[in-house]
Amino acid sequence: MMMMTVESVFTVVILLGVLVIGKSEVYIVTIEGEPVISYKGGVSGFEAIAVESDEKLDFSSDLVTAYSSHLEQRHDTLLETLFDDGNYKKLYSYKHLINGFAVHISPLQAEALRRAPGVKSVDRDWKVRKLTTHTPQFLGLPTGVWPTGGGFDRAGEEIVIGFVDSGIFPQHPSFQNQVTEPYGPVPKYRGKCEVDPGTKKSFCNGKIVGAQHFAAAATAAGAFNPEVDFDSPLDGDGHGSHTAAIAAGNNGIPVQVQGYEFGKASGMAPRARIAVYKALYRMFGGFVADVVAAIDQAVYDGVDILNLSVGPNSPPATTKTTFLNPFDATLLSAVKAGVFVAQASGNEGPLPKTIVSYSPWIASVAAAVDDRRYKNHLTLGNGKILAGLGLSPSTSPNQKFTLVAANDVLLDSSAVKFSPSDCQRPDVLNGNMVKGNILLCGYSFNFVSGSASIKKVAETAKSLGAVGFVLAVENASPGAKYDPVPSVIPGILVTDVSNSMDLIDYYNVSTSRDWTGRVKSFKAVGSIGNGLEPILHKSAPMVALFSARGPNIKDYKFEDADLLKPDILAPGSLIWASWSPNGTDEPNYVGEHFAMISGTSMAAPHIAGIAALIKQKHPHWSPAAIKSALMTTSNTLDRGERPILAQQYSGSDTMTFVPATPFDYGSGHVNPHAALDPGLVFDAGYEDYLGFLCTTPGIDSREIGNYTHQPCNYTLGHPYNLNYPSITVSHLVGTQTVTRTVTNVDEEETYTITARMAPAIAIETSPPAVTIGPGASQRFTVTLTVRSATGSYSFGEVLLKGNRGHKVRMQVVAMGYDR
């Protein structure tokens, strides 16, 4: 037990008597003593709990319950000893994955906590944000993967995926308990089901097995509004329902929006169960203290997979490394508990070093554009055809309609103050002039900020009797992203500024005006094509423009890490999935039950669902083994057998396509069928990750102990010696030899080991071949030598090719220096 002298307590209390008038904030505190997951004994009256790495900890045991209560009592005693009642508010006790708590106190009180005996770390809470169908067919799941697990009606059976997100809309058909094949109980899962305060009905139904929400930190920070954010697991945003459906939504659900059907939607593992841990909210994102509490609860409850379509706003500046903070330390313990974690890598691409998922124990997922593209076109009266986007029907065939600009059909000149060209308010436009014509609108910054929407343009045009609408982008900024939006009437978004200028020039030349500028006659005409049918491209997958890029960073100074991120590429652009009708995250889908949106938020649940399929087939595999299977079997060629491309900017607003590198796609694009049978895996466990931390330059062992409660008894020599399914040496001088160990998860097989690398770096492997029996492991080395210090990264790969058909590919990345 922690001991304090009367004098030290008195000093702190006197100090705090002055402090409590300061502005309080939320802090995450860790204290001495091991959490449940790593408790090896030593506290009188409490037996050891921690298990070996290949065993599953029983969180429901009496030993866990007793030790958890002991830790919480220590948290309360510390706070009660330091602070007067009413001068602080404890929000959470963290007991299972880290030992600590979240508390709402003033900055000076936090300083007093830092000085208190037994306190290891005190971090001010920080914000996180959301990192915002056809893909089962694109990934080959119905024909190549689901049959191996008994078909779609068994794919993911008995696997529980936890979603730390914005909640769920439980009435959606993607989440209903099916009548023909009802879901039975899952004995291993013990999560709670909250009750909807409005309907008094449980959020759970057999498909959804757990539903809880976490908002104590958001409430303490003054950000939470129960009227808007919902004081329950109900999804008030849409994001959480979308990610849950991508990973585990029911199979064959018709996607119906604006009266049209856009195919059938299915999750990657349609029979997996869903456990909801709401910690994100539509107006402000979320707070790490709430997210850590959600993760801690999810692991305690018994989830198998954890999906995090969430990340920090920037690298954490409170610790010396990106790998070590309350958030990543909690996820490290989750992996120790056997939980596979998929996290979105971030949406700040295509700039380098924009990754926000840093640690080796996490599967960091980049976003790909798949083979389905929606395009439309506008045909002008002068014969020009302008490309654009629009999920809409065409105007009447073989007929052109008059174009009328919103600014030319105002009811009153005072309407200018309402940004009439946005076409958001039908009451400021003259319906008699719009009826039967195509309404021409302008795409302003209001559409980027969310205060205007294409959905509202369509509603305005329809209410005024227009036959369609055109929305023209006149000014584009780098990073602007345009997605096609369903419309009940013909409509098109012209995204290319030069095309918009052609449209405007044609309109102005064709429109006669009087000396005041008022239109005398509208003579510009046009027609809108059919944009409802997708076009399938062979140049897929392709790395999405917005997807965050490497190199990975090891600290907030943005120094390069000896660890490749992202890990893997998965579909994340224009993904159809479930939506919450009261969600406002996407203004174009307010009131809808489905939405088509983009982001690495959409890519991560693809990997979470595929990981569930692997876990179903190989229930005893570690999280590292599952990640290895995903990474080493991934593809670096597109469907046309050409190297995968990445969307990039060409120095201006123009998007171009360049050959992708591992900093864009990690190991490559996920191949679910191959991942089920990888042949070999690069396995790693908790001790290996501790060794990685203890070997990373710039971190002292005390800081590692503060978060992991473990000493640095094990190092790797260099961080790049972590048994990871890729190799990264960010500062290669002379010659370096890297070690890796593979484990055979199939029958005996002989593998030849070859390697290739860009000319600036020489690469050799040893031995040239290995024969490995079932369950056996074999070590090999990769030697890298600088040939020329180019000041840039070189890329290559190591290939292990088995005589029974398995291929295991590992990406190699290195930058050579003279010294």
| Positions marked active-site | 165, 239, 601
Please confirm whether the linkage preceding 35 is cis (ω < 30° from 0): no
How many Å apart are CA 9 and CA 15, to the nearest integer?
A: 10
> What secondary structure does DSSP assign to 53-82, as a single string?
TTS---TTSHHHHHHHHHHHHHHHHHHHHH
**Other C-beta atoms lying within 10 Å of the C-beta of residue 760:** 18
Instruction: Give the phi and the psi of residue 621 in degrees, each rounded to 5.
Output: -70, 145
How many Å apart are CA 100 and CA 34, to the nearest integer?
A: 10
Region of residue 125 (left: phi > 0; alpha: psi -120 to 50; beta: else): beta
Instruction: Give the phi and the psi of residue 449 in degrees, each rounded to 5.
Output: -75, -20
How many Å apart are CA 436 and CA 441, to the nearest integer?
A: 16
Cβ-in-10-Å burial (0-12, 13-18, 19+) of 432 comes to: exposed
**Coil, strand, or helix at residue 238?**
coil
Contact indicator for 400, 526 with CB cutoff of 8 Å: yes
End-to-end CA distance of the chain: 50
What is the 8-class DSSP label of residue 176?
P
- C-alpha dist (Å) from residue 183 to 136, 176, 274, 474, 563: 22, 10, 12, 52, 41
**Coil, strand, or helix at residue 452?**
coil
How many Å apart are CA 65 and CA 373, to the nearest integer?
A: 52
Contacts of 250 (CB under 8 A, 6+ apart): 173, 174, 175, 176, 178, 207, 266, 267, 270
How many Å apart are CA 403 and CA 522, to the nearest integer?
A: 7
- Which of 728, 737, 819 lies closest to 785, judged by CA? 737
Q: In what order do the strands lie in the sheet with 680-681?
A: 680-681, 735-744, 777-786, 761-766
How many Å apart are CA 270 and CA 262, to the nearest integer?
A: 19
Please confirm whether the linkage preceding 697 is cis (ω < 30° from 0): no
Burial 230-251 (b: 16+ CB within 10 A, else e): bebbbbbbbbbbbbbbbbbbbb
Instruction: Give the phi and the psi of residue 398 in degrees, each rounded to 5.
Output: 55, 30
Cβ-in-10-Å burial (0-12, 13-18, 19+) of 81 comes to: middle
Tokens 């106190």 belong to 105
Contacts of 613 (CB under 8 A, 6+ apart): 145, 149, 155, 156, 268, 269, 672, 676
What is the 8-class DSSP label of residue 263?
E
Q: Enumerate the β-bridge partners of residue 403.
A: 438
